[in-house]
Structure 1
Amino acid sequence: MRGRLSHWIALGFGSGLSPVAPGTVGTLWAWLVFVVADPLLSPAHWAIVLAAGFLIGIWACERTARDLGVADHGAVVWDEIVAFWLVLLFAPGGFGAQLAAFVLFRFFDIVKPPPIRHYDAKLKNGFGTMLDDLMAAFCTLLVLALFRAGFGGAAG
């Protein structure tokens, strides 16, 4: 990890090196960073962070995967981090709603229902690594929106 900036980024600044559930630990790290950074960043700043994070993630995840010899190594968690920041940005506020978003996001990221599974299997590069988590974020936000619509905003 020390040798390359791409490894630092792709491995979530060390959060992906957890021996147990590195994707979950990376997502928890993303949540912590979001809680600290959100009061300091406007929606426009978040848009820049997310766009830059996605583009940098394509490079960092691809390079790290190539160096590790595995297309989407479990320790590569930058994709979870950027995608979960997106979820938290649009999810209802409050700890309960954020916890629900966390559980839903981890579910979609682990289970990879269609069409996430299709793209995860077909795109074995940095873009594919980032895309499948972006799709998991979309599914998470969709379920949260449907829940809010069905229960009159009770989730937020």
Structure 2
Amino acid sequence: MVQLLATWFYLGKSPWAPGTLGTLGAVPLVWLLAQLHPLAYMGWALALCVISVFVATAHELKLGVHDSGEIVIDEVVGFVVAMTWLPFSWVFCLSAFLLFRFLDIWKPFPIGWLDRKIQGGIGVVTDDVAAGIITNMVLQLVYFKTGFL
């Protein structure tokens, strides 16, 4: 069960861009969560954050490698956070996907700092949650201040 979740149904096992595939694999989950009341969405997002820390920790211990590329549950959680309180549409999904992946790969401050300083499963997840929060803040700002998107 740990490997199934850590690799998000084995998408993380892909030899090509496992983080990108893991993020794409989060879209159906975000669609399901978007059907819920916003507070229920937040509850699930928080629960997924906690679960992902335990799953990432267990998978790291099994592999003996910190933040293995096949662990993509962190990308799933980061994308869930990125889409929090945003309308579920192809425009928002695509915008959130592109910005989240850019931030997750580039790792500007504070994302890169968190990635380097925090070890274990919580470290695996924290930088992606930070990328998700920043993505969400940017899209909220664009959406509510300009009406664009």
What is the TM-score normalised by the length of structure 1?
0.87
Any unmatched runs of 5+ in structure 2? none
Q: Which moved more, 1:57-66 or 1:138-147?
A: 138-147
Equivalent position amino acid for 2:11 in 1: S
Any unmatched runs of 5+ in structure 1? none
SS of the counterpart of 2:84? Answer: helix
What percentage of residue pairs aligned between the two structures are identical?
36
Counterpart check, 1:22 vs 2:18 = yes
Q: Which has the larger radius of gyration?
A: 1
Equivalent position amino acid for 1:154 in 2: F
Equivalent position amino acid for 1:21 in 2: A
Q: From 85, 96, 116, give the equivalent of 1:121.
A: 116
Q: Which moved more, 1:11-20 or 1:70-79?
A: 11-20
The equivalent residue for 2:125 is: 130
* Structure 2 counterparts to residues 139-150 of structure 1, below 5 A: 139-150=134-145
Shift in Å at residue 142 of structure 1?
2.0
Shift in Å at residue 8 of structure 1?
1.6
* Separation of aligned partners in 2, 1:145 and 1:47: 16
Equivalent position amino acid for 2:45 in 1: L
SS of the counterpart of 1:13? Answer: coil
What CA deviation, in whole Å up to 9, does each residue of 1:119-139 have, x standing for no partner? 101112111111100100111
* Structure 2 counterparts to residues 10-49 of structure 1, below 5 A: 10-39=6-35, 41-49=36-44
Shift in Å at residue 35 of structure 1?
2.0
Query: Contact 2:74 / 2:128 at 8 angstroms: preserved in 1?
Result: yes
Query: Contact 2:38 / 2:85 at 8 angstroms: preserved in 1?
Result: no
Query: Contact 1:91 / 1:98 at 8 angstroms: preserved in 2?
Result: no
What is the TM-score normalised by the length of structure 2?
0.91
* Separation of aligned partners in 2, 1:146 and 1:44: 20
Shift in Å at residue 47 of structure 1?
2.2
Q: Which moved more, 1:73-82 or 1:89-98?
A: 89-98
Count of matched residue pairs: 149
Shift in Å at residue 37 of structure 1?
4.5
SS of the counterpart of 1:51? Answer: helix
* Separation of aligned partners in 2, 1:84 and 1:48: 15
* Separation of aligned partners in 2, 1:33 and 1:110: 22
* Separation of aligned partners in 2, 1:92 and 1:36: 12
Query: Contact 2:84 / 2:136 at 8 angstroms: preserved in 1?
Result: no
